[in-house]
Structure 1
Amino acid sequence: MFEHIAELAIRRSRLVLVVAVVAVALMGVLGAGAFAKLLGGGYDDPASQSSRAAKVIDEKFGGETNLVLLVRADEGRVDTPAAQRSGRDLVTHLKKEQHLENVISYWDTGSSDLRSKGGRDAMVLAHVKGDDTERDENAKSVIDAYTGPYEKTLTVRAGGGAAVTSDMGTQSAKDLVLAESIAVPLTLVLLLLVFGSMVAALLPLAIGTIAIAGTFAELYVLGSVTDVSVFAINLTTALGLGLGIDYALLMVSRFREQLASGASVDDAVRRTVSTAGRTVAFSAATVAAALAALLVFPQYFLRSFGYAGVGVVVIAAVSTLFVMPALFVVLGHRVNGGRLPWTNRRRPATRAPLWGRLAATVMRRPALTALPVLAVLLLAASPLLGITFGTPDERVLPEDAASRQVSSVLREKFDGNEDSALHIVIGTAVGRTPLESYATELSGLKGVVRVETSVGTYAAGRPTATDAGSSALGRSDAQQINVVSTLTPRSDAAQNLVRDVRAVAPPTGTRPLVGGVDAVLVDSKHSVGSRLPLAVALVALTTFLLLFLFTGSVVQPLRALLLNMVSLGATLGVMTWIFQDGHLSSLLGFTAQPMDVSMTVLMFCIAFGLSMDYEVFVTSRIKELHDQGEDNESAVTNGLGHTGRIVTAAACLLAVSFFAFGTAKLSFMQLFGLGSGLAILIDAVAVRGILVPAAMRVLGCSAWYAPGFLRKFHQRFGLSEGGPTPEPGLVERDASTVH
């Protein structure tokens, strides 16, 4: 196959490039509409109890409260005549809004629960209508229309889930622009330093551009038929630019190496495609396999990263395999054109002696060099012993975000947070007496301030004397019950309350569904946790199979998986130390909170896939030299000497794309960017530079072991960069020369 790709590039290079230009133009036009198709949210499991509760409430009660307008009197209290007139006028206009329903306010009900302790603030509760796409647009429309000064007597700010999601989307777009404005120029500078040639430096950027444009087009198509998260854009730009550069870097380096050895342009293209091209194909397969594991999760937030990740990897690999060879044919020796003044004008460097010497040192003293590195990585992983998980809330936003400020006021100045109440829905008729008994028992649970029903309000295990209940919470065929607490939303105590509420015996013959923000968190953690073993198993199995097909050894995949887990553990441990424990929070400007369960899973899959990317880069060259007859130590030393510079450069370039998101104002995007970038550097330096050669030295001849039947299978179906797999006897003779 790779031979055919090379011949196509040689014979039809200009046609390939014309087709590529047309395809990029079409993908650009299609992808420009991707932003309008993408959604916020997507953190909950559609099949969970909380999601089903929300659906029933939408259908029968007009929806859960997802928008809270916090109204402050500019002077005095909200009970003054002027404030009351303006407040009632505001509510009248809100009730006429076609995007809202279930509008409830302090001025309608007179409920002290909707007025702050000092009387300066009051709440207006509402439900923003529409599906995920429409809700985001509708919420933004209402927020833009009503927040700010109102009739010179009130000031309105927006909070609640719809406002938080809207603020997240707005902030994400700003973060993306800032990150790319940093990553792209810095990447170009680094490419110039790596290649020392303007022409060679621009080639990887061309592949990155194709990958990003193609994935945007893919997201547009998928967003038209299913739910796709807006945050998939962030992964597309970071991974598209990074992987496009990674793969192109490998191809350009090999092509220049072949030219430097005296090969003709056509022969250099053939050799580059048959060697580096194979490596790119296998590398892309391993990264795509890791990211495809995200598709097993029901949350479309995670699935979206799977869509974007697999798409960007495949498009980057395909464009590298087809467009890059065609560019080589057209450019020929001009690939080295535009040399910078400080570069060596004789020939580009094809080998990094430093990496070769490092590998030789490690292989002479594996324990002395590897054990300290291993100890540091295990120490870095130790914060994982205390890790806890959560889902994104207003605290991921900067402190000056309006929705976050509203949430703070609701917690501090109101008796119970209506916005974070648990919503219980019973989808059948319920008699008054069983409903009263159920609500009474719920009101006695620890942390509960009150329980609101259609037949009354209950507190401390008994009905209150002043509230006869809300008829809006009851129907002939259904009942809604609101459980309001003083507990901090998403805290351990709030999650325990969800479990306690679900454990209360319901009225006979009913099956209540419990929803609300804390119920969503409990269900999301369970949903992700229950599917995580399957995702990890799929990643491990596909990685093992692909690396076996690439190396012909069963030991190499096991060694790679073990070292990857060490580096991943160190990365996640450091991120836990920073983002959960709060270290560096003042420097980075975030609020410490439990690790985002979805973003942690995403980071695991990305970091695992990218570490396998560099695993294939390094192992491919080692195996090529080993198959050519070099002994194990020499193959490792020379293999790292040839690939170390490429891996280091690729890692730095890819890390820049991710580290740029460290400038984000959304804390979970900081977690994603800094964690992914750190994982790449740990893998490229500590693992590839030290732990891999140490492991190869310890394994010795067994490093290339495979049972006889699997060797025969690999000889027939396996692919490797060095060409056909040698006979077992040759492998054994080579391995026996290891000192």
Structure 2
Amino acid sequence: MKKDIFRVLGEKVIQYRVIILSFWIILTLIASIGAFNIDKILKGEGSYVKGSESYEQTELISKKFSQQYTKNIIVTLKSKKYTLSSPEYINTINTIKNIAQKSKEVGAVYDYNFDNSFISKDRKSTFLLIGLKDNSADQTSEDANALSERIRLLKLDPEIESHITGSQIIVRDMTQVSEKDSAKAEKRILPIAILLLIIVFGALVSALLPVMIAVMSIVITLGTLYVIGQYIELATFCKAITSMMGLGVGLDYCLFMVSRFREELDKGLTPEQAAIETVVTSGKAVSYSGLAVSIGMAALLIPNLILTRSIGFSGILVVAIAILLALTLLPVIFSFLGDRINSPRAFHRLVKYSSSPKEFWLRWSKTVMKYSWTFLIGGVSILLFVSYFALHMKLWNSSVVLMPEYLDSRQGFMNMMEIDPSRKFSPIGISFETKDGSSVYEQKNIKEIYKFAKKISDLPEITRVLGLVDPKSDMTLDAYNNLYANTLTLQTFQLAESSNPFVSNDGKSTILWALHKDTSVDIADWYAVKKIRLLRNEFASTNFKIMIGGGGSTNVDFQDAVYKYFPLIIALIIIATYIIMFSLLGSILLPIKAILMNLLSVTASYGWLVLVFQYGFTTQLLGIKHIPGALLIITPLVLFCIIFGLSMDYEIFMMSRIKEEYDKTGDPEQAVAMGLEKSGSIITSAALIMVIVFSAFSFSEVILVQEMGLGLSTAVLIDSTIIRIMIVPSILKLLGKAAWWLPKGWKEKLSLVKLEH
């Protein structure tokens, strides 16, 4: 008879336990080097889409426009005492300009002499726009940080408040905040997790093992990501998702493994035998559970976006490493510890009262099945009510306004908003590239540019158009044609092809910048981008390739890229869920039930997030000072993938116990009661730990981490309470033997997986 692969694994692990223990210790030490340096290779939020219209326009500007700067630093200045005409103010501006102009990384420095809208109405505030030369992403980031540090160290007049902001500085600050957040969350979680595990196990040694495995899985994952990050771009959020998932599943899986090992020891087995049996039973369940979670994380690789790819890689790696540690290192430690895993005994006596609530679960299951319709209708009604709010979901991308108020880049941004509410530091770009290679100065080309610029400037959302032409100026189309027809005139006005900042170096492309009148930072900007793109399509230029970028175009393209694949991702995850659950349970109906319950869990989580982040419900408890008014673009997709996997986690552990009892007795009602009695306590403990882990991240200062933390903690809480202990037992009771129905002859033909934990 062929041996179970998990039994073979367990035996080999014990046989080579010294080698395996040494391997994991060495690997963890090596990985820790990369883990401590992970922030050096992470590249911001990763919300741009390679190949999109906005990305192509940025590439065009970078390569062909030597006087347009896609990356910049903004220095804001504000004084209560001085006006711009004061010698002190002028000296401060000149000091900053001098240090910037002497820097090799700077292409140009613009102040209020370039544009008087750089000045506030009371003439006490202004800003300098410092354009950075376009190098590689890494080099530009280093240049921005180096220059901002030199400016920060300047001894400026104490009566003039200065702040440094700009895209590169904002990304840097968000990276630093995310790093601190992960460290804070881990410090909050670990003591609580240890305390809870002591209560569950009644032993300090047993409690520390899951924590050790969880921390090791995080360190090894971050070290691996550090290596991967040398070859592909990874977003800052990698670190947070690794910590979140590593602590969640790492503690979860080890909880089941430790619990089973102690159970096997109580049967009188030797430590080595107990360790092998733990791998055969709980190890198998943990593997399938991890597979379910990994499928959800793998689905995030489908869009091939930097942010989703980063989250997907992080999730897959940390889950896989947590499983490998649980299947190999834990059994080795079990075999060495033996009965010492229950040490110290004092803890066991202290918490003995709370360690065996099996009678409660038996009574509860019988109560639920006695009033099955009441619990089913009540539970579903609660979830549908919360899910209703998901129908009103709005999406957007994060804003600097939601960053912590103490950040210099955020304060600089707010000062910018006071000076220039039109937000022209992030205008909408309209690029024109001639198809026939002719100069943009030719009369036919100027005519087309002017006509399209006129259409844009007539939009109510647009206040002004900057570029080769300005339809709202006193100059007519004929005047522009006359101006650009004479090269001598161009030189007189310093508008020669080589010097005009709005014209490419080869004279075959030009860029217009449309300034948005809306002072908010929400999706109004997106609508303007979409309107201009529709105008472009209707305009149907014969000689120009017109691209719309800048402003909110990156967000529009990102949303389109994310949700282009969402239906496919949903379909693949549902199909994978059905296949896994069918192979485990041998039932036609139960996988459908699992999918419906998972969908309820997801939609209820969406609804709760809408209540909190869109309508402001309980935001004060989370320390949110500015209500976002919408969810981040990426949140629904990521939550769907992760929640489906985590929900399968508990479905597998619970239903495998119920199936085990049903196979023994053939009585569906008794199977539910006994299955819940045996698994209810451990599943609730595991869920509670996961809720604590995810909840800690709900208090992050990074909005994406907050939404993930709250969404996942809500889903796990719903899944482990309303769904697992109310709705599922009710459905199983009402379905009876039909729940386990399989067409005649299928059972003999199919090789079903037998799970125990």
TM-score, with length taken from structure 1:
0.92
Q: Hey, what does 1:473 align to over in structure 2?
A: 502
Offset at residue 304 of structure 1 (A)? 0.5
User: Alpha carbons of 1:134 and 1:712: their partners in 2 closer, same or farther (altered >3 Å)?
Assistant: farther
Deviates more, 1:584-593 or 1:457-466: 457-466
Question: How many angstroms does 1:645 deviate by?
Answer: 1.0
Does residue 534 (structure 1) correspond to residue 568 (structure 2)? The answer is yes
SS at match of 2:107: strand
How far apart, CA to CA, are the structure 1 residues paired with 2:340 and 2:400? 53
Query: 1:627 aligned to 636, 641, 663, which one?
Result: 663
Q: Does 1:339 align with 2:345?
A: yes
**SS class of match (2:621):** helix
Identity %, equivalent residues? 28
Query: Hey, what does 2:423 align to over in structure 1?
Result: 417
Alignment partner, residue 293 of structure 1: 299
Aligned with 2:124 (options 117, 120, 126): 120
Q: Is the 8 A contact 1:259 1:265 kept in 2?
A: yes
Q: Find the aligned partners of 2:362 and 2:411 in 1 and give their Cα distance.
A: 55
Partner of 2:28: 24
SS at structure 2 position matched to 1:316: helix
| 8 A Cα contact 2:421 2:518, kept in partner | no
What is the CA–CA distance in structure 1 between the aligned matches of 2:272 and 2:623, rounded to whole Å?
53
1:673: which partner in 2?
A: 709
Cα distance change of structure 1 residues 722 and 86 upon mapping to structure 2, 3 Å threshold: closer
CA distance in 1, matches of 2:475, 2:674: 79
* Number of the residue aligned with 1:728: none
| 1:459 alignment partner, SS class | coil
Q: 1:389 to 1:484 in 2, by over 3 A?
A: same
Residues 53 and 515 in structure 1, CA contact (< 8 A), matched pair in contact too:
yes
**Alpha-carbon deviations, 1:582-631, whole Å to 9, x = none?**
12233323222210111332222222211111111111111222223342
Q: Residues 672-691 of structure 1, C-alpha deviation per residue, up to 9 Å, x if partnerless?
A: 21221121111111111111
* Deviations 1:414-466 (CA, angstroms, capped at 9, x unpaired): 2622112101222334233322232222211112111011x343438976999
Matched, 1:100 2:119: no
Aligned residues: 718
Match for residue 450 of structure 2 among 436, 443, 454: 436
Q: In 2, are the aligned partners of 1:9 and 1:329 still within 8 Å (CA)?
A: no
8 Å CA contact 1:66, 1:162 repeated in 2: yes
1:543 aligns with 2:582: no
Task: Extract unaligned runs of 5+ from structure 1.
Answer: 724-739
- Which stretch of structure 1 is more off in the superposition, 659-668 or 335-344? 335-344
Report matched runs for 1:565-576 at 5 Å. Answer: 565-576=599-610
What is the CA distance between 1:350 and its match in structure 2?
6.4
Could you tell me which runs of 5 or more consecutive residues in structure 2 were left unpaired when the two chains were aligned. Answer: 484-492
Measured after TM superposition, the shift of residue 313 of structure 1 is 0.6
TM-superposed CA distance for 1:696, in Å, is 1.0
| Correspondence list, 1:372-521, <5 A | 372-414=378-420, 416-428=422-434, 429-430=439-440, 431-453=445-467, 455-459=468-472, 471-475=500-504, 476-504=507-535, 505=539, 507-521=541-555
The residue identity in structure 2 corresponding to 1:432 is: I
C-alpha deviation, 1:670, in angstroms: 1.7
TM-fit CA distance, 1:707: 3.5
> Any conservation in 1 of the 2:396–2:523 contact (CA below 8 Å)?
no
Shift of 1:314: 0.6
C-alpha separation in 1, matches of 2:29 and 2:347: 35
Give 1:341 deviation, angstroms: 4.2
- Which residue among 35, 38, 41 is the counterpart of 2:39? 35
Give the conservation status (yes or no) of the 8 Å contact 2:639–2:708.
Answer: yes
| 3-state SS, counterpart of residue 419 of structure 1 | coil
Q: Is this contact kept in 2: 1:625–1:722, CA < 8 A?
A: no
Q: Secondary structure at the match of 1:106?
A: coil
* 2:137 alignment partner in structure 1: 132
Task: State the SS of the aligned residue for 2:344.
Answer: coil
Q: Secondary structure at the match of 1:101?
A: strand
- 8 A contact 1:457–1:463 mirrored in 2: no
Superposed displacement of residue 233, structure 1: 0.7
Listed one character per residue, the Cα deviations across residues 22-57 of structure 1 (whole Å, up to 9, x for unaligned) are 222222234333222112120121121111111111
What letter matches 2:615 in structure 1? Answer: D
After TM superposition, give the deviation of residue 412 of structure 1 in Å: 3.5
Q: CA deviation at 1:18?
A: 2.4
Q: Quick one: structure 1 residues 480 and 585, their matched pair in 2 at CA, closer, same or farther if it must change by over 3 Å?
A: same
TM-score by length of structure 2 reads 0.90
Q: CA RMSD, aligned part only?
A: 2.6
Task: Classify 1:51/1:651 alpha carbon distance in 2 versus 1 (closer, same or farther; 3 Å).
Answer: same
Q: 1:270 matched to which residue of 2?
A: 276
CA contact (8 A) 1:260 1:347 kept: no
Amino acid at match of 2:174: M
Instruction: Give 1:531 deviation, angstroms.
Output: 1.2
SS of alignment partner, residue 651 of structure 1: helix
- Residue 244, structure 1, aligned to residue 250, structure 2: yes
The separation in 1 between residues aligned to 2:742 and 2:84, in whole angstroms, is 78
Change (3 A) 1:54 1:463: farther
User: For residues 345 and 239 of structure 1, what CA distance do their matches in structure 2 show?
Assistant: 28
Q: Distance in 1 between matches of 2:634 and 2:179?
A: 20
Aligned partner of 1:145: which letter?
Answer: R
User: Aligned partners of 2:168, 2:99: CA distance in 1, in Å?
Assistant: 19
**Is the 1:256–1:348 Cα contact (8 Å) retained in structure 2?**
no
Is it true that 1:600 corresponds to 2:636 in the alignment?
A: yes
Amino acid at match of 2:189: A
Amino acid aligned to 2:175: G
1:56 to 45, 55, 60: 60
| CA distance in structure 2 between the partners assigned to 1:592 and 1:709 by the alignment | 58
Q: Which residue of 1 aligns with 2:675?
A: 639
Measure the CA separation in 2 of the matches of 1:259 and 1:686.
Answer: 34
Is the 8 Å Cα contact of residues 342 and 348 (structure 2) preserved in structure 1? no
Q: Of 581, 598, 616, which residue of structure 1 is paired with 2:652?
A: 616
Q: How does 1:347-362 map to 2 (within 5 A)?
A: 352-362=358-368
Which whole-Å CA distance do the structure 2 matches of 1:147 and 1:510 have between them?
Answer: 44
Partner of 1:228 in structure 2? Answer: 234
With over 3 angstroms needed to count, the CA separation of the structure-2 counterparts of 1:350 and 1:116, relative to structure 1, is same
Q: Secondary structure at the match of 1:457?
A: coil
Structure 1 residues 503, 154: CA separation in 2 closer, same or farther (over 3 Å shift)? same
Q: Could you tell me which residue of structure 2 aligns to residue 726 of structure 1? A: none
Cα distance in 2 between the residues matched to 1:713 and 1:220: 46
Deviation per CA, 1:452-503, whole angstroms, max 9, x where unpaired?
11x3434389769999888211131210111012113543432221122112
CA–CA separation in structure 1 for the residues paired with 2:474 and 2:220: 60
Asked if the contact 2:449–2:469 (Cα under 8 Å) also holds between the matched residues in 1, the reply is: no
Secondary structure at the residue paired with 1:628? helix
1:420–1:489 CA contact under 8 A, matched in 2: no
In the TM superposition, residue 218 of structure 1 has moved relative to its aligned partner by: 1.6
Partner residue in 2 for 1:204: 210
